[in-house]
Structures are given as structure tokens and as C-alpha cells.
Chains A and B, each alone.
Chain A
Amino acid sequence: MNLKKETLVKKKGIGWNGMRLKDMLEQSEQLFRETKRYWGIEKLELREKDPIRYERIFSSLRGGLVNARETALNISASPIVKEIGELCFALYTPEGDSIVLSTGIIVHVHTMSDAIKYMIRNNYEENPGIRPGDIFSNNNSIIGDVHTADVHTIVPIFWEGELIGWAGGVTHEIDVGAVTPGSMAFGHEDRYGDGLLLSCEKAGENDEFYQSYLKKCADSVRAERYWLLDERTRLAGCHMIRDQVYRVIQEEGIETYKQFIREVIEEGRRSFKERVKEILFPGTYESPRFTDVPWKNDPTVSAKARRDLIMHAPLTLKVSADGELHMSFEGANKWGYHSFNCAPSPMQGALWVQLTQTLIPNDKINDGAYYATSLKLPYGSWCNPDYEKVSTTLSWHFLIPAFSGMIRSLARGYYARGYLEEISASFPMTGNILQGGGVNHFGVESAFTNFEMSSEGTGAMYFKDGEDCTAAMWNPEGDMGEAETWEVLEPLLYLGRSIKPMTSGPGKYCGGAGIETVRMLYRTKQQTLFNGLADGHVFGSAGIFGGYPGNAGYRHSLHGTNMKEIIAKQLPYPTHDGDPENSEVDRLVQARENVFDKIATAGPQLFEEYDIYVSVHRGGPGLGDVLERDPALVEADLNSGKLLPRYAESIYGVVAKQNDEGKWQVDHKRTAEKRKEMRLNRLKKAVPVKEFMKKERERILKRDFIEPVRDMYQSSMELSSEWREKFITFWNLPEDFEM
């Protein structure tokens, strides 16, 4: 026994100078705690001595990353990866800190970092062992990932017997073998429905996957062909990164490489702080957000999930005078038996994604930014569950609205500093997500996830409207793909894909519009389809400086239609739903069952041939007072169909009429009068803040809210005494107040 122990102690680690990885990680963390600098580095010696050489090493490494992604993209079969670009690579230090990264869904730069650190902390070095040529797979969100749909491949990089880093790649899968088809199935209660789970599993050695691993994956998922090609995509990319690292070491020497990777992260940390100091104004910014899960009476979801609830994300952003950024969700309410819970790793990843789109959009980002920020996630809440078996397949449903407040907070910071061109009213939800599966039009059992949702309207900017159908919160490089490509995967015929009216958030400048598609099932007997990532009763985002949010959505599906007869008789069929209060789908099609409600996120539902599925997407939120919008812009909105005529006056105070050719023209005189009248009405309605607060306080004391709102606040108070204190103090409530 003793002897065995001794050999263990004596055994040389695979880290630097014979250290064990675990010790390296601990040392790194200790040095950061003590010095607040990465590896305690005081002087950026390499950089100061030879800034040119430093830059050359960086560009060599990053060139390798970008090239790996571009080449690997060509291997994947899945349009999600190939056309939408849901793929990303990064290079890490031995301790799992990112050094350089490619473009793509860079939320995962951090989630892979967490996965590597998990392996180190849990002593993978001993068991199962980490050797040159090994391959690890992970998609466990509690360890480090967003959801099972995102699969990591992680490859250790060795040089002369020492582990000198890791290459990681991630892709979003079309199906993960969850209880229902699609990549982000939901409606079930907990992790046991989330699909194939890979917990930093050793998946291969000698640069090849184990046959047993591939067999297991193929047997566990639908659309296995895509899965297998994506495995190869990630592995080929990781190997290209490894080769590039070898080239750099051959040219620069291993010692320089080692020094470089630490300095470049410390430098990333410092320059992040400089950037924050330069562009933001110190202070505390608050911007809470909510979203709904209206499932109390929804038969599509499992029994435990049947509750009406609202997610609470009380986001606070603190910018310190020396350029540190601290974000907190203190006061978030409890996790639940649904799939929208979110582990800390993706929350951290989301922070990273938002930073790269806003504060630090450059090719020099790395985990240095992580070391200059902090994120507080209350334990037991939806964003840091205290139960490891929660379902997380669709964390984005909570995460996206939660982070919209960050963009509005940054916007206020930019405003204070005068960086007006950086201001955005934030992003909307990224739904509707159309996913599902069944026996498809090729006659085989399959599954699909349509990524049109990567192109939602963007938020209004300070000088202009947002862009229509352009990006998603999680990927600025959005792309809705081609209808002909999606039809290869989906047994749903496009009857139309168009810009949806009234999706832009109104304001002095409007958000970009969202799209909608009308799909008809064909060449299939039955499909299981979802509606999701969609707000119905509560706006998942908000406008800024007086702007309104973009649209909340709805669900509209027709089962048992007369489409066959319509086609045979050459009667008009719907190409869009258009104005939901005068739905074209309802006007033209008769159905046995017409599902038309605000349950915009709903679990698996059965559809048959000739059934119709409407997919409504989101527009971006608006910026500024609607009464300040240039009437000429309102006129253009009317003529483009983005704005329904009845809202020109009620929202914007713009009086317009159609000319003989059907074009809308503003009556400027009447518009000026109308706007004046509206401003006077505002004044009439206005009450002093004190009075307003008094009234609201009475409502709170009477608990005069619907049940999900009461539940939400009660849950927040139970989980956080800090938030409870804040709430009670703000509203001057009795100490023993309960919702």
C-alpha cells in the first residue's frame, strides 16, 4: 500500500518540468488570487523586448486557427455548420486558458476552457490518462458547455513529452438523441431527456476515434450521418491547430512559446481594462429582464413542467474606475423542471460573446478578458442550479433575454462617454426555432433544426434603424441559409419567407424587422415539431432611451387542413400570416384544429401532411421617443409594409393617407397637430414619481399580481437575502414581507 503511494508521488507529471497539471492549474489560480495578474506576470518581457516578434507569433497562431475553421467547414455535412457557420476552434494553455480563437460561435471558447479545467481538476492525468494523440469529447453543460447539442472535441498538444496546450473545436448538432427529435428538445423534466451525454469522455487515441465511441454515438442519435461527419470536422480542425503550434515552436523555440502564451493572456487582461476605461463610464448599471414559460395547461409538456412561470434576470453591471467589469444576476429566481436552466459555464460564455461583439471586437481576444471580468450567479437559481440533473437543452431561452440588459447597460456607458456609434438598443430573442423530426421526405427517420433564427432583426442604433433579419445574440455572423437547402433537410415546403410586419421595435429609430415563414408538411405522414426560443406574454428584450421592444411572438399551426383541395382548385393559399389580427393563413385555409395562441414556446406537437406551421421571428428593440421619429421614415415603413397603417397614428402620431397609386403619404400639418396633442395627453397622464411609487407599493402590499409574477418575486427573495433586502428597502416594505 505504502509502496504504491510512493510510486504515485514519484510519478512524473505531464505538465511543465514534470509538474502535474492539477498543480499547474492550482499554482496559476493562486498566483492570480495573490497578484491579480495572470501567472503573476508583472512585466511583459517578450513583448517589451521584441514587440514585432511577439506580434509575429500571435499572427502565426491565429492564422492557424482561422485556417482550421475554414478548412473544417468543408468537411461538415450539416447546413448548421457549413452554411450557418456554427463551428468554432480555440487554442488553450495547459491549464485550459484560451490563447487565440477562430471566428464562429465563440461562446464556446469559454465552455471548452471549463471542460479542460474539469479534466485537470478531476485528475484525468491519472485516469483515464492524457497522452499524445488522445481525443476527448464533451457536451455536458454542468462540466462546461451550453447544452447537449454543442459537442466539443478536445485534443492535448504535447512537445517532447510535456503537455504544452490543448486544441478544441465545437459544432452544433442537428440531433442529439434526446427524448424527442431535434437538437434542443424540451418539454421533458430533467437531464434524462436531454439526449446523449458525453462528460469529457476519452473518445479516441493515436489521433483516431475509438470505433466503440463512434458506434455509440451513431446508435444514440437521429441523423447520425451528420453527427459522424461533424466529429471528423472537429478532429481535423484540432489536428490542424496542433500542426500550426508545432510549426511555431520549431521556429521560435519551446521556451519562447511557453513565455508567449502566458504573456499574451496577461496582456489581453490589461488591454481589456484599458479598453473599458477608454470607452465606458464607471458606475453601476441595472437592466433587469424577464421571459415567460406559459405551460400550466400545456399538454405538450410533461406533468412536472406544467406551470406558468416567469424568468427573472436582475442584471447589474458595475464598471470600476480602473476598468474592471463586474456583472451580477443576484436575485435571479430558482431553476425548474424545464430545459431552460443554465449552467455557469454558458453564462460565462455568453458574457464573452457579448464582449466580443461590443467592447472588444478584434482578433486579439483571449481569456485575458475573462480575468478582467467577474460574473456573479446565485447558487440555486436558474443560472447556477443546485441540482446537477436539471435539463439544459434550451438554456438560451433564459440566457438570451437575461443578457439583453448587458447591451443596454453598455449603451448607457457609451452614451456617457460619447461613443454614440457603438450604441445598440440590444437584441431580441432568437426564435421561433423550428425543429423536430420523424420519417422524412426521403422515407427515413431523421431530425432537423432550422437555423433561420440566426437572422433576427438587430437593435436600433443611435443614428439609424437596426438591420432587418441579420444576426443572433449568440452569433453576429448570422445567416438564414437558402430555402432550397433547408428543404433538403425538412419535409416542409416553403409557402413563403418574408419580412413580418410590426416586428420592429418602435422608437425614434426602430429595430430591424424579423421574418416569418409559412411551411406546409408534404411527403411525410407525421412529424414531431416544436415552437421555441420565443417570448409570448412577456417581451424578452426592451427598448432604450424611450424606444419600445420588438414583437413578442405567437404560435399559429393548422392541423387537418383543406390545402389539398385549395391546390387542386388553384385557389389562393397563404404565403405569409401577416397581420395576426387579420391572419392570411386563417383567411384562406380551413382546418380541423387551429392553434393560435401566445404559447410561443411549446413542447413537441404532432403534425401531418398538409398541416401548416407558421414560424414567426423577432425584430430588434427600438431607441428613442416614438414621437421623434422622422415622419418620412414612418411613411417609408408604411410603404414597405413593415408598419401596419392603423399603428402609424396610434404609435407615432403620424397622419398619412394613400394616394391613387396606393402609396402612403404623410400629412405633415395634421401630423404636427396630432403629435402636439399626444404630448399634451402624456402630460395629463403623468404623475409625480412619488405618487406612482406610492400606488405601486400598495399593489405590492396587496400582492396584486398574477401568480407567476408573485412566484417569481418570492423565489428571488428566498434565494437571495441581498436581493430581498434591496427590494424591501426600495419599496419600503415590512421586514417580514412575503409575495
Chain B
Amino acid sequence: MTNKNTIQPRILAIDAGGTMTDTILVNEEGQFVVGKAQSNPEDESIAFINSLRDGLNYWNLTLEDAVPALASSIYSGTAMLNRLLERKGRKLGLIVTAGFEDYLRMERGIQTYLGYSYSDRLHLVTHRHNEPLVPRERIFGVRGRIDLFGSEQIPLYENEVREAVHKLIDMNVEGICVNLLHSYVNPEHEKRVKNIAQEIIRQRGADTLLFISSELYPVSQDFARLNTVLVEAYAADPSRDQFKRINRKMRELGANHELRVMASHGGTISTEAKELARTLVSGPIGGVVGAQYLAKELGFENVVCTDIGGTSFDLALITGGQFTIKTQPDIARFMLKLPLIEIDSVGAGTGSFVRLTPSSKRIEIGPDSAGYRIGVSNPVSGLSTVTINDCNVVLGYLNPDNFLGGDVKLDKERAYNAIKEQIADPLGLDVYEAAEGIISLFEDHLRNEVISRVLGKGYAPENYRLISYGGGGPVHVAGYTAGLNFEDILVPSWAAGFSAYGCACADYEYRSDKTVQAQIANLEDNITPFAETINSAWRELKDRVIEEFAKSGVKPDQVEFRHLLRVQYVGQLNDVEILFPGDEIKTAGDVQIIIDRFEEAYAKMYSRSARSPELGYLVTTAIITGVTESEKPKLPTEPLGPATPDTKYQETRLVYYKGNWEQANVYQMDHLRPGNTVYGFTIIESPNTTFVVPKGYKAYLDAHRIFHLSPE
């Protein structure tokens, strides 16, 4: 182990899962260790400290030594999501526009099949509504109507507001959410509801919390906005107490920085941030942020990020150094209005089940999966259906004695028998032939996804590098990139922990969105109204970001602001996000820049034939992002060694590949030195992942401990 005195842990990333809490500690050299502990949802700070202690053990450090040296701590976790999925959130009341009290019983039809497979989307008898987050009896309507132009068509019936608030307080709700139609364009009615509610709460001595849609998420689409406000109040906001506890523990141990949380827009935010719901999903985001950081450090701009876990294949593009953001994602079967890094998730992971359809005997992979239970080859899994992992074990790609570093012993024969009985025999195939066929089908499926995403955006693989990570990525990367001429294929040696690493790479960044609906006037016309609408929205948003940073003592002059817009053709429903290269729209030339940037982005994103400049342009959303300095991990750099790996560590085993048994060289990842090149067939094993270099390929390990895979 490294000498205690030279170790200075600088960055801490916490990944609090449902069963395990992982902590990743990164030192000044970019080296890192992973600590693990049992999760404790009641008090997350306990699990956090245990996990941190476990990690520090590798460096022989105590909590008291290490914590004061840390420069930043990033949290990501599943507590909010679990609270939502298990319906264990706050007891809420809801005030909506009169006549819409059935919002949550009706939902939108789409929520009855969100997340379903293709088959089940067609299969109507499987469609189900969600259990509402707020029961019907705690939802009250108040009369009054603002129209889409922001005009008051019907004044607010304030007596109805009073009655509703009193009733909700009678019901002992912990919080009241307010969502009125078109409040994003004119929040006056919601403001009035808030004032009345505050007055009544005060009078009655209650401590009811208020969540106002126009304050939290001033964006169009009433139902998705409502969902977002509810998720915020129901599942996200209750985590603040946990964060406070962790922060307190950290301070007690001498930390002089505050905890930040990974957010869906790809930055980290304070635990005091207004919009905490955007920290609901952070898992897959870390990887994309990490890839973006890697690209920046290594000096390239276009990256395809691919992450294979047990249940899914996650895919994201970084183009020109930027990932794309979608503003209407769905999470846990809810349509939401939040900025979320665009990540396509395909229900195909290494734990995906493989079956034959009963009537036609055609191979089906997924969409359901064994997840952490691995497959039939795991004797304690209780599983009887073949998975992708089982095929990998039978073919010799995975070492049954070194799965998760040997924590789980896999039984090759169990997998063999299951494949034989369920797949090979019914199809009249040899077991190895069947297993390899399944793997090629699986990799093909992933390859189709990769290529369609790249081509769908109007690019070619030649313009991109591909990064593969997650426990399953490196096993299949050669297969799912076969024949696609990527500029380079990168496999970081820390692939299994790459998502957590990515969280540590994230900027301290706030992002604030507001729906504006400003049509771009004819350039010869007066552009002032258009410019003023956007400039004033930007000013408002900038104030919000400044306010958020102020909670952590960050001053405006420490923040780098970026001004963005979402633009679409008039009448179209899909907007595209562009960066405006200034901080204010002043001239017709500025408007032309917006148009040009939109046209360029649109043509790339969709099809050139879909361009429709004759419709005119509409700015739907103004956005401000603010970034301030935060410490990030350095890339590890080691001196280059010889081109050939030390054969003393080399072992061999037989693998089945392209219809033949091949002798494969096997290395432990730790034994390979920068500068080494291995030639296929080679298998590189580490406790959390296996990297397969098939025949006809080679892999070079560079000074940063990143493998580069290429055809020989």
C-alpha cells in the first residue's frame, strides 16, 4: 500500500444505494479507493461514515486525518427514488385549478404504459395507472383562469382558496402543493394562493410547507409540471434532513466544505437548492459527466458513452464537448419537467433473460432481467431462466471463480445445462453455438442502438470516440462496436466505478429554466419586445442562480454564467437547446446568431429535409447556468513501461469464439503496466469487470490507465 504520509484524499463521492453505500475517495494523483457499507435508510449518515471508514482503511487513514483534507464531497443516492417508488413520502395536500381535482386519478394515458416493453405497450390488458401521490380527498380545486397568453380570463375565487387551505390543515398535511393552469406565464394567481395560505398557516399556528409550481418549476405543461412539484415535495425535499445529518457529521470530523448533490442536468448543487427533485436520478448521469471530463482532459470533443449494467444499456452522446439535455423526461412512470441529460436506456444488460417464444421458437432477449442475481450460473440466485451472463460463463469469457473478485462463485455446468435445455436443444443447435449466437444477437442489438443514435443525429462513427464502462461494458465492447469505425474505443481501467468517478468530476453548477414563448420578430422589425422578454427572463433566472449560490457563500463574481435558449420552429413542439454567446440580446445581429445556431443544431438533430425556416422561430425557454470552481480528480499518470506485458502473470484458458475453441491469455488488470499492448484473444480481469479482447483485436494501456481497443 502507498505510504500513509503521501496520501491526501481530496474528493469524496458517495453513492448511497438501496442495499449498499459506496464511497469513492480520490487523491491528488487521481488514484482512488472504494469503501463499502450496508445502507441505512433511517439515518444515511451512519452508513456513510462506515463506508468512508472502510475506504480509508485501504490508505491506512483515520476519519480525523482524512476528512479535513477533503476539498469536496458529492452525494448521489437512491433514497428519493425509493421513497417515490415505495410511496413512503410526505403527506401532502394539493390545490389545483377548479375542475382538475381528478388530475392524479386520470393522469395521462401515457403513464399507464411508461417503461413498458414493445409487446406490453401493445398489449392493452397490461396497462395500469399509478397509485396517486396524493389521494383524491386531499385535492382541492379553486376557480379562476389565466389563459395561455397570461391574461386573467376569470379572477381567482379567493374564498375557495381559504376553504381549501383550512380543510387541508384540518387534515394535518405536512405540505401543500399549488399548481394552476398557465402559472408559468403569469404566476399572479399562484402568488395570491401562497399569500392566503401563509396567512392561514400563521393564524392557525401550523407549520405546513408550501410548494408553488411557478416558483419551483415555471415551465409549461400543467400535468408534467404538477408531477414535478409533487415529486419535489413528496420524495425529494424530505431528503434535506438526511443531508443535514451528513453535513453535520462531516463538520464534526473537521470538514471545511459542504456536501453537494449530483443533479440531473449534469452539475452538482447544494443540499439547500430549491429544485431538489432533479437529484432524483443521478446514477447514469455520473458516467456521462465523467466521459465529458475525460474528453476535456484528453483533448477531444465527440464521445459516445456506453454503460452496461445488469439490467440496462445506457447510451449518451457528447458532441462538441457537450451532452444534450432533455426537458421532459420520464422517471419512475411519471412525466416530469426537469432538465435531464439525454441518456437512452435500453432494457438489455448482462442479466437480461434469454428465452424462446413458445409459439414461434424465436429468441427473445429481455426486457426483464435477473439484475444483481446474475443468472442460473449463480447457484444461490434461485433462477432457472438463462441470462446473458450465463452465456458469457459457458463461453469462457467470464471466470466463474473471479466474479466480483470471487465474492460470488459461479457454476458453469448449471449454465450449460440451462442453455442446452432451454435454447440449444429446441433450436437444434450445439450449446456453445447457441450461447455464442445469443451473445452476438445481444451485441448486435446494442450495436444497432449505438449506430442509430449516432446516425440519427446526422453524424458518423468516424467522428466519435466511444467509451465503454459499467461492469458489463468491457466484456461486450468489441462486439457492439464491430464494423463501426470509431476514431478510438476507450475502456478506463476503473470502468466499474466510472459513474461514481464521474460524479466527482461534475461542476458545481446551477441551472434555471423558464418558459417564455417569445416569437422571433422579422429582423427588419423592432426586435425590442422579443429581446426584452428574453433579457428579463435571463435577469430573473440569473438572480435565482445567484440566490442559490449565496446559500453556500459563493459570490456572483466567482460564478461563470452561461445564457442558453431553447428554440423551435413556430408551431412545432420540439425545441432545441442552444448557447447564446453573450449575456444580453441587443441587436438584430444577436437575433441572427440565435437563428443560425438553432438552424445548425436542428439540422444535425433531425433531418436536413425537416428544416422549416418559413414557419418562423419561437424561443420557448430561457435558461441560465452558473458554474463555479470546484476541485476535480486528476487523471492518474504513470510512466510508460514495456510494450509487452510481463508474462509471469499470464495465465490461459479456453474460450469459444466464432465457432472455435481458442486459447486465450488471461491477465489480472493490476498486473498490466502502461505501455503494454495485448493481442486477442486476451481476457483482462479485475474484481468488478472483465475486458474481452477478441481475436483480431489489440488493446493498448496508456499512461492514464485507459485501454484503447482497436482491430489488429
Q: Give the B-binding residues of A (Cβ under 8 A).
A: 51-52, 55-56, 59-60, 63-64, 66-67, 71, 74-79, 82-83, 103, 207-208, 225-226, 228-229, 232-233, 235-236, 239-240, 243-244, 247, 251, 267, 270-271, 274-275, 278, 356-358, 361-364, 421-424, 441, 454-455, 458, 461, 467-471, 476-485, 487-488, 493-499, 515, 518, 522-523, 567, 570, 572-573, 575-576, 640
Contact = CB atoms under 8 A, between A and B. Distances in A.
A422 B123 CA distance: 9
Contacts of A422: 125
B179 to A, nearest CB: 11
B526 interface: no
29 contacts: A56-B440, A63-B449, A63-B452, A71-B607, A75-B574, A75-B610, A76-B572, A225-B571, A229-B612, A232-B610, A235-B609, A236-B607, A251-B483, A267-B360, A467-B128, A467-B129, A468-B105, A476-B113, A476-B124, A476-B127, A480-B109, A482-B224, A487-B147, A496-B98, A497-B102, A497-B106, A518-B99, A522-B147, A573-B154
A497 to B, nearest CB: 6
A82 B359 contact: no
Nearest to A228: B612
A278 B147 contact: no
Contacts of B123: 357-358, 361, 476
B555 interface: no
A470 B147 contact: no
B182 interface: yes
Contacts of A364: 357, 360, 362
A481 B108 CA distance: 6
Contacts of A477: 109-110, 113, 121-122
Contacts of A229: 569, 571-572, 610, 612, 615
Contact of B99 (A59, A575, A640): A575
Contact of B101 (A247, A494, A498): A498
A55 B441 contact: yes
Given A75-B574, A103-B122, A229-B571, A470 B109 contact: yes
Contacts of B108: 455, 479-482
B124 A75 contact: no
Given A236-B609, A468-B106, A515-B102, 20 more contacts: A74-B574, A103-B122, A229-B572, A232-B607, A244-B452, A267-B360, A274-B359, A274-B360, A362-B119, A454-B109, A458-B127, A470-B124, A471-B112, A477-B122, A480-B109, A484-B182, A484-B220, A495-B145, A498-B106, A575-B99
Contacts of A485: 220-221
A467 B110 CA distance: 13
B209 interface: no
B661 interface: no
B448 A63 contact: yes
A482 B222 contact: yes
B106 A469 contact: yes
A190 B429 CA distance: 60
A166 to B, nearest CB: 18
Contact of B456 (A71, A461, A482, A495): A71
B427 interface: yes
B99 A497 contact: yes
A424 B125 contact: yes
B148 A361 contact: no
Contacts of B143: 572-573, 575
B203 interface: no
B679 interface: no
A55 B362 contact: yes
A271 B360 CA distance: 5
Contact of A51 (B113, B363, B609): B363
B99 A363 contact: no
Contact of B221 (A482, A497, A575): A482
Contacts of A495: 98-99, 145
Interface string B101-141: 11001101110110000111111110111000000100001
B35 to A, nearest CB: 41
A471 B126 CA distance: 12
B124 A77 contact: no
Interface string B438-473: 101100110011011001100000000000000000
B571 to A, nearest CB: 4
A233 B112 CA distance: 26
Interface in B502-541: none
B153 interface: yes
B157 interface: yes
B68 to A, nearest CB: 50
A471 B149 CA distance: 31
B358 interface: yes
A567 B441 contact: no
A527 to B, nearest CB: 16
Contacts of A55: 362-363, 441
A518 B98 CA distance: 11
B100 interface: yes
Given A51-B363, A59-B444, A236-B610, A567 B437 contact: no
Given A56-B440, A357-B122, A496 B100 contact: yes
Contacts of B448: 59-60, 63-64
Contacts of B147: 441, 487, 493, 522-523
B120 A361 contact: yes
B222 A240 contact: no
B700 to A, nearest CB: 28
Contacts of B99: 494-498, 518, 575-576
B606 A52 contact: no
B223 interface: yes
B406 interface: no
Contacts of A240: 456, 607
B481 to A, nearest CB: 14
Q: Which of B121, B127, B573 has the most CB of A within 10 A?
A: B573
A263 to B, nearest CB: 12
B456 A67 contact: yes
A362 B118 CA distance: 7
Contact of B606 (A75, A274, A424, A455): A75
Contacts of B405: none
B121 A476 contact: yes
Contacts of B427: 51
A422 B126 CA distance: 9
A424 B124 contact: yes
A310 to B, nearest CB: 28
Given A274-B360, A278-B359, A471-B109, A363 B157 contact: no
Nearest to B136: A640
Contact of B127 (A226, A247, A270, A471): A471
Contacts of B119: 361-363
A498 B100 contact: yes
B155 interface: yes
Given A476-B122, A493-B153, A483 B456 contact: no
A51 B429 contact: yes
B607 to A, nearest CB: 4
A458 B124 contact: yes
Contacts of B106: 455, 468-469, 480, 497-499, 515
A108 B101 CA distance: 37
A8 B476 CA distance: 55
A520 to B, nearest CB: 9
Contact of B445 (A59, A83, A361): A59
Contact of B610 (A64, A233, A455): A233
B655 interface: no
B263 interface: no
A468 B106 CA distance: 7
Interface in B399-457: 427, 429, 437-438, 440-441, 444-445, 448-449, 451-452, 455-456
Given A59-B448, A357-B124, A573-B154, A232 B609 contact: yes
Q: Which of B221, B449, B609 has the most CB of A within 10 A?
A: B609
B564 to A, nearest CB: 19
B628 to A, nearest CB: 34
